[in-house]
């Protein structure tokens, strides 16, 4: 079984990225083969500052390695280092129905909000399909909101197979567990778009200050509270031990506490939870050539597989 997933370097990773996706990607690296890439080509639809994109791409690699991605068990590479994917994207584009792309959520949402949608955003699902199909991927872990793009990938692959004979492996989506709700510091879904994030590798003192500013309700201190519906408790649950979580839930139901007490416990638990990853990141940051070597080795392995698939596709449609 080959697993593939990519993540855009549009900003530093936050808790929502980690608990909603990255942690589960890392759990899947024990599959027979796992390919993970940093999607800098996709990021060009939003990041138009060259130096910023370059820095965010390299930071993403350091972050993923620090968080537990093991290059001995998974292939880590930068999307643009595999040019075969861009060529495959064009071959898929020649058979992609406009109506199929017009129905995709990302494009429709932008249009509905009055945001100018360029060709990159419109054809985003085709590049995503090329990313997946280039490595004969069996399983693609995605959030529920990305499931449509896997269906588009399958549609494009099936159409190609119908016209030119069996060529592509048809991937299946693995919907990521969304039970770990990750609210932002305002109680809404954590997102860079809402400017309500807690960054994983933020300075602990700066993060503590941000946590102490988390919005809370105005219920009196003595009133019992249901923990599961409180976003402060939900954040605490992500980084606390089972015992700490149980004690905090009992405190909520008992009442007679202040939110400042919970915020302090949250900041302490978060610092402990990410301490090992933070130490690994500092070590990697001090040895950037090691990170470049990992990316170069990953890109070499990815190009080898993508070249094999591209040649198969070229032969199928008469290009060679």
189 noted as active-site residue: yes
Give the angle subtended at the CA of 34 by the CAs of 33 and 37, to the nearest 5°: 145
Distance CA 248, CA 266 (A): 10
C-beta of residue 198 within 8 angstroms of C-beta of residue 239: no
C-beta of residue 150 within 8 angstroms of C-beta of residue 173: yes
> Which residues are CB-neighbours of 117 under 8 A, at least 6 positions away?
107, 110, 111
174 noted as active-site residue: no
Catalytic, out of 52, 181, 189, 210: 189
Catalytic, out of 111, 181, 192, 264: 192
Catalytic, out of 110, 111, 210, 264: 110
> Which residues are CB-neighbours of 115 under 8 A, at least 6 positions away?
none
Give the angle subtended at the CA of 72 by the CAs of 131 and 303, to the nearest 5°: 35
110 noted as active-site residue: yes
Beta-bridged to residue 75, according to DSSP, are 35
Catalytic center residues = 110, 189, 192
């Amino acid at each position: 079984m080959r697993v593939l997933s990519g993540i855009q370097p549009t900003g530093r990773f936050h808790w929502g990225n980690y608990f909603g996706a990255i942690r589960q990607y890392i759990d899947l690296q024990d599959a027979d083969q796992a390919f993970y890439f940093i999607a800098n080509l996709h990021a060009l639809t939003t990041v138009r500052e060259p130096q910023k994109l370059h820095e965010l791409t390299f930071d993403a690699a350091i972050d993923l390695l620090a968080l537990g991605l093991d290059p001995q068990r998974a292939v880590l590479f930068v999307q643009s280092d595999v040019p075969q994917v861009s060529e495959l994207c064009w071959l898929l584009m020649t058979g992609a129905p406009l109506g199929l792309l017009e129905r995709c959520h990302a494009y429709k949402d932008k249009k509905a909000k009055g945001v100018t949608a360029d060709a990159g955003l419109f054809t985003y699902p085709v590049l995503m399909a090329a990313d997946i199909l280039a490595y004969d991927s069996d399983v693609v872990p995605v959030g529920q909101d990305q499931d449509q793009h896997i269906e588009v990938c399958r549609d494009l692959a099936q159409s190609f197979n119908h016209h030119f004979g069996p060529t592509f492996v048809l991937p299946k989506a693995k919907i990521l567990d969304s039970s770990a709700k990750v609210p932002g510091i305002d109680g809404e879904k954590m997102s860079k778009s809402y400017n309500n994030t807690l960054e994983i590798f933020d300075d602990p003192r700066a993060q503590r200050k941000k946590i102490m500013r988390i919005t809370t309700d105005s219920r009196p201190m003595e009133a019992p509270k249901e923990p599961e519906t409180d976003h402060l408790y939900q954040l605490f649950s992500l980084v606390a031990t089972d015992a700490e979580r149980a004690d905090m839930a009992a405190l909520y139901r008992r009442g007679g506490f202040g939110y400042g007490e919970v915020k302090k416990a949250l900041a302490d638990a978060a610092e402990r939870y990410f301490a090992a990853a933070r130490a690994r990141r500092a070590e990697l940051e001090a040895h950037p050539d090691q990170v470049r070597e990992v990316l170069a080795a990953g890109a070499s392995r990815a190009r080898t597989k993508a070249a094999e698939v591209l040649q198969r596709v070229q032969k199928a449609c008469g290009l060679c």
